[in-house]
């Protein structure tokens, strides 16, 4: 049938410093975790290690530290792990205390705004700080792949504070942007910008449109770049823009307030660039069609907190999101094709409660068995079960205005009301 036959797993990171591996099929559960909880050392970004095997997982902390762990081939229960069961295999030094950065959701000035690893023959680790500094390390091999690493191979100063930093040009470049900084793409080899976005024309009062970029993602081909914004036209009104870096500096498509009068906190773009996903600070999540000027064509329900990360499966139409409501949810955005409208509300196919506020998530390129993946194509059941429980609780409550004494008291009140009505009628006849 062509479906992969490996477990469907995901990774989640939280603001206390824990990285968890979650199994999504056949049941949602936490399989393994790494890291230690510490104040001021929460995880801001997560990524896979170099190579396609996904043998390592990495995180960027709020203090500027970058750490990678080796994934275990076996599923070890959480209760069986000790604090030293999974020490970091690669630990890069924290950033130096220079300047001040603007964090989109809080955190220190040197917190990691982006992290990724690329390369097969000569792997590299790229980390972008909120100060706008981008550092490149050489991935160690052999016995050197343990403990602290040395100085970075290269350092790039982008010049402005960065709220987000993502991989571009197949890992050979980096895309950065933030509050007051339009998106730009930098070459890691040359150390200079190869593309810069241009702001929109001035508004009707001839004032510059405020720049408040909260998130950006680059399509797999490296040509299309999607951005989410939180401040447009002097109002806290979200906007999503789509750029074609090979064609022009201005956006080729944009939509204002696709999720209502609220800021956009996370975006994602499909590999073919046809679909853009946007999440808001209040938990709204929708799929926008790039062929229809980023019109919302499908909305996803059940989120109750600000969405911090949207992750897409590289081969299957699966979408994972993580946010402040402490739940990671999985949606199937490919079911039904383009028949769904913006009024259609799609529920999650899987969800797991993870106790801490989530800041990042990743979907493994592995997929479930044929039966498990086909089951995910059905209508979401996780949220429907919650709604069924709520409906059952509400059905047990008395109706508004209903008496509390049972059927006998209700019958007595009806007889009394009939007697009063009869008395009024006889009084009127006597008059």
Mean pLDDT in residue range 264-273: 94
Mean pLDDT in residue range 171-176: 92
Give the total residue count for the chain: 431
In the chain, the percentage of residues whose pLDDT exceeds 70 is 69
In the chain, the percentage of residues whose pLDDT exceeds 90 is 43
CB 212 within 8 A of CB 161: no
- 406 pLDDT band, cuts 50/70/90, is low
- 78 pLDDT band, cuts 50/70/90, is very low
194 dihedral zone (left: phi>0; alpha: psi -120 to 50; beta):
alpha
Helix/strand/coil for 171: helix
Q: State the Cα–Cα distance between residues 283 and 421, nearest whole angstrom.
A: 53
Question: What's the pLDDT score for residue 315?
Answer: 85
CB 189 within 8 A of CB 170: no
Question: What's the pLDDT score for residue 337?
Answer: 45
Q: What is the pLDDT of residues 323-334, one digit of tens each?
A: 999 999 999 887
Mode of pairing for the β-strands spanning 295-300 and 345-346: parallel
Question: What's the pLDDT score for residue 339?
Answer: 46
Question: What's the pLDDT score for residue 246?
Answer: 92
What tokens appear for 16 in the block? 């206390």
Q: State the Cα–Cα distance between residues 95 and 43, nearest whole angstrom.
A: 15
Q: State the Cα–Cα distance between residues 297 and 338, nearest whole angstrom.
A: 8
What tokens appear for 391 in the block? 């409906």
Helix/strand/coil for 84: coil
CB 157 within 8 A of CB 142: no
Residue 305 pLDDT more than 60?
A: yes
Angle CA(225)–CA(228)–CA(231) in degrees, nearest 5? 140
Q: What is the pLDDT of residues 79-116, one digit of tens each?
A: 333 344 455 567 776 544 333 333 344 455 678 999 99
Q: State the Cα–Cα distance between residues 197 and 376, nearest whole angstrom.
A: 39
Among 176, 157, 162, 155, smallest CA distance to 218 is for 176
Mean pLDDT lowest for which of 29-43, 93-107, 286-300, 408-422? 93-107
Mean pLDDT lowest for which of 28-37, 78-87, 162-171? 78-87
CB 198 within 8 A of CB 182: yes
Question: What's the pLDDT score for residue 221?
Answer: 81
Q: How far is CA 215 from the centre of its chain?
A: 10
Question: What's the pLDDT score for residue 152?
Answer: 86
CB 114 within 8 A of CB 95: no
Q: What is the pLDDT of residues 347-405, one digit of tens each?
A: 898 899 999 999 999 999 876 554 455 555 544 444 444 444 444 444 555 555 544 45
Among 98, 92, 210, smallest CA distance to 157 is for 98
What tokens appear for 410 in the block? 């209700």
Average pLDDT in the chain: 78
Phi, psi of 393, rounded to the nearest 5 degrees: -65, -40
Residue 80 is classified by DSSP as G
Among 355, 314, 361, smallest CA distance to 59 is for 361
Mean pLDDT lowest for which of 147-151, 185-189, 413-417? 147-151
């Amino acid at each position: 049938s062509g479906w992969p036959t490996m477990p469907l797993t995901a990774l989640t990171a939280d603001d206390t410093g824990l990285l968890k591996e979650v199994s999504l099929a056949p049941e949602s559960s936490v399989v393994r975790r790494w890291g230690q909880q510490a104040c001021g050392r929460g995880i801001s970004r997560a990524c896979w290690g170099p190579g396609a095997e996904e043998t390592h997982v990495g995180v960027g902390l709020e203090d500027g530290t970058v750490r990678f762990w080796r994934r275990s081939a076996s599923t070890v229960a959480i209760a069986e792990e000790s604090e030293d069961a999974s020490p970091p295999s690669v630990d890069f030094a924290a950033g130096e205390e220079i300047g001040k950065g603007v964090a989109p959701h809080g955190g220190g000035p040197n917190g990691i705004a982006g992290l990724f690893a690329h390369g097969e023959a000569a792997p590299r680790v790229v980390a972008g700080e909120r100060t706008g500094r981008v550092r490149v390390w050489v991935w160690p091999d052999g016995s050197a792949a343990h403990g602290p690493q040395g100085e970075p191979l290269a350092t790039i100063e982008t010049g402005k504070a960065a709220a987000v930093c993502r991989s571009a040009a197949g890992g050979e470049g980096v895309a950065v942007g933030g509050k007051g900084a339009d998106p730009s793409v930098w070459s890691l080899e040359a150390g200079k910008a190869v593309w810069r976005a241009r702001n929109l024309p001035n508004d009707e009062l001839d004032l510059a449109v405020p720049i408040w970029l909260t998130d950006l993602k680059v399509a797999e081909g490296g040509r299309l770049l999607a951005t989410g914004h939180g401040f447009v036209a002097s109002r806290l009104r979200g906007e999503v823009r789509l750029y074609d870096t090979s064609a022009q500096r201005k956006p080729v498509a944009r939509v204002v307030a696709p999720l209502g009068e609220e800021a956009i906190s996370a975006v994602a773009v499909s590999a073919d660039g046809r679909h853009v996903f946007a999440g808001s600070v209040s938990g709204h999540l929708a799929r926008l069609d790039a062929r229809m000027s980023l019109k919302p064509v499908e909305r996803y329900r059940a989120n109750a907190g600000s969405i911090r990360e949207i992750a897409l499966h590289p081969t299957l139409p699966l979408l994972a999101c993580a946010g402040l409501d402490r739940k990671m949810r999985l949606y199937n955005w490919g079911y039904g094709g383009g028949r769904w409208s913006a009024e259609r509300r799609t529920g999650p196919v899987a969800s797991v409660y993870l106790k801490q506020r989530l800041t990042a998530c990743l979907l493994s390129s592995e997929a479930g068995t044929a039966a498990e993946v086909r089951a995910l194509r059905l209508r979401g059941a996780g949220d429907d079960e919650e709604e069924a429980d709520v409906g059952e609780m509400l059905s047990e409550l008395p109706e508004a205005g209903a008496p509390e004494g049972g059927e006998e008291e209700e019958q007595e009140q009806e007889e009394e009301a009939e007697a009063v009505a009869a008395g009024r009628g006889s009084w009127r006849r006597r008059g």
